[in-house]
Structure 1
């Protein structure tokens, strides 16, 4: 399966909607789409994962890298609308302690 990434740049935030599976095959495409967003000063990135059906450790690595890049620019990263399965994955790995995660929608996120 592929991963689909839609980016909606707004005045005060960038909303990224991801759909599909995030694995060793699709993670490079996701990283390629997300990396330019971190080149701004103080990026505010919200990633909606409600349509992600599967994620492996490669996908987790993409989000850890994104978090580091965003923080190095003084910005914020938030993951929203995680499925129970993804929420459990982030929790088990301890990433839910360092990444801002919400199972609910963020204002303006569809």
Structure 2
């Protein structure tokens, strides 16, 4: 999995992800989120348009990342999920917990 971090403001970042979000890549994702939040950016938009596959480990790391962000006084939102990711979010009802936006700009617009 590739993760590119775009800093939107002093406390906001967009993490643009591509590849597979599964049990192999989930620890890498978790570490990257911890680095970004530890660096003072607790409002995170996770851009998932480039993620072609996500499994239950991916769901778990997203929920864990939401907890990390909220414990730091922020929040986490999903931006532009691919069709497969959107299906997994809906089937698991995680889309009720993690708000989904059409793109990274829309996800962070009311934080800026």
Range into which the TM-score falls when normalised by the shorter chain: 0.7 to 0.9
TM-score by length of 1: 0.85
- Point out which structure has higher relative CO (alpha carbons under 8 A, 6+ apart): 2
> Normalising by structure 2, what TM-score?
0.84
Aligned length: 106
Q: For 2:33 and 2:104, locate their aligned partners in 1 and report how far apart those are by CA, in whole Å.
A: 19
Q: Aligned-pair RMSD on alpha carbons?
A: 1.9
Q: Which runs of 5+ in 2 are unaligned?
A: 108-112
Task: Write out per-residue CA displacement over residues 10-59 of structure 1, whole angstroms, 9 at most, x where no aligned residue.
Answer: 32520100000111111111111111222356711111000000011111
**More displaced 10-residue stretch of structure 1: 25-34 or 54-63:** 25-34
Where does 1:1-110 land on structure 2 (aligned, <5 Å)? 3-12=1-10, 13-39=12-38, 43-102=42-101, 104-107=102-105
Structure 1: any 5+ residue segments left out of the alignment? Answer: none
